[in-house]
Structure 1
Amino acid sequence: MAADVTLRWEAFLDYVQERGKYDSRQEAERASRVVLALLGAHLVGEVRAQLAARLPEDFALILLNPLHSAEPLSPERFVRATAAWIEGATEQTAAWDVSAVLSTVADAVGDDLLGQILLQLPGGYDLLFGRPQPT
């Protein structure tokens, strides 16, 4: 997947579905909507806008929804919040959902923007994006 290119809706969901090993595109879409809504609540300013510009329009709107986190969630709490938003999810399945969506986002945005995104998030999110950073 080439960075710096806005992904089409179908392509984004194809990547998420493949990485998440979902049986249906609907499962991939549900995971994407929840994870991107939670991620958007943690990002601000130009970084949030640049990320939205690289996502399919429907997902960009979800990311830009005026939902704001009162405090940044640790990676563990982010996974728990995802589990709480997806009916029937466990922390294990939510971790899988988060990884499938955020690794697709990481590929779509490239290293420069991903670095800016990670600066706005608590430590440990690099692992959720599938891009462990040297310590």
Structure 2
Amino acid sequence: MRMHWDAFLAAVGERGEYPSKQEAERAARVVLALLGAHLVGEVRAELAARLPETLALVLLNPLQAHEPLPPERFIRATAAWIEGATDKTATWDVSAVLSVVADIAGEELMQRILFQLPPGYDLLFGRPQPG
């Protein structure tokens, strides 16, 4: 079931404690564009089907990654795309967006998403996996 645009941004805004909807939207667009470059096939399509339509398109038409980025480089890339961001604020942005994504993805799809990503992303999604 597709999450509504306002509900998604409200959840990201609340987790990220953003002062405006625009800041929540900016974080969501950047993080999902980078995430989309790391996911392929059915997993990406299933996740897109649960996101608000505008953000689904962002996920399905990603920024190109030449290789899967380890979590720390994913954060650095996020910081590079958000004006005035630092690694610390980008970590906050990534966690706010990806924790909402994890909630709407559900357990089974999350396992398949994490399987496609380099180790360590479970923490970015707020879903630490047992070692």
Verify same fold: TM over 0.5: yes
Which of 97, 101, 113 aligns to 1:117? It is 113
1:13-60 CA-to-partner distances (Å, cap 9, x unmatched) read 000000000000000000000000000000000000000000000000
After superposition, the C-alpha distances for 1:74-118 in whole angstroms (9 at most, x for unaligned) are 000000000000000000000000000000000011000000000
TM-score by length of 1: 0.95
TM-score norm. by structure 2 comes to 0.98
Shift in alpha-carbon separation, 1:58–1:77, aligned structure 2, 3 A: same
Residue 68 of structure 1 and its aligned partner are, at CA, apart by 3.2
CA distance in structure 2 between the partners assigned to 1:18 and 1:82 by the alignment: 19
Matched residue SS, 1:104? helix
Aligned to 1:72, which of 68, 72, 90? 68
Matched, 1:43 2:39: yes
8 A contact 2:37–2:64 mirrored in 1: yes
2:93 maps to which residue? 97
Gaps of 5+ in 2: none
**In the aligned structure 1, how far is the partner of 2:94 from the partner of 2:81?**
12
Higher relative contact order (CA 8 A, sep 6+): 1
Q: State the superposition RMSD in angstroms.
A: 0.7
Alignment pair present for 1:58 and 2:54: yes
Equivalent pair of 2:16/2:96 in contact (CA under 8 Å):
yes
Is the Cα–Cα contact under 8 Å of residues 3 and 52 in structure 2 kept in the other structure?
yes
Secondary structure of 1:96's counterpart equals: helix
Aligned-residue offset at 1:66 = 5.0
Identity %, equivalent residues: 73
The ranges of structure 1 where at least 4 consecutive aligned residues each deviate by more than 3 angstroms after the TM superposition are none
Aligned length: 131
8 A contact 2:34–2:62 mirrored in 1: no
Cα distance between partner residues in 2 of 1:39 and 1:128 = 11
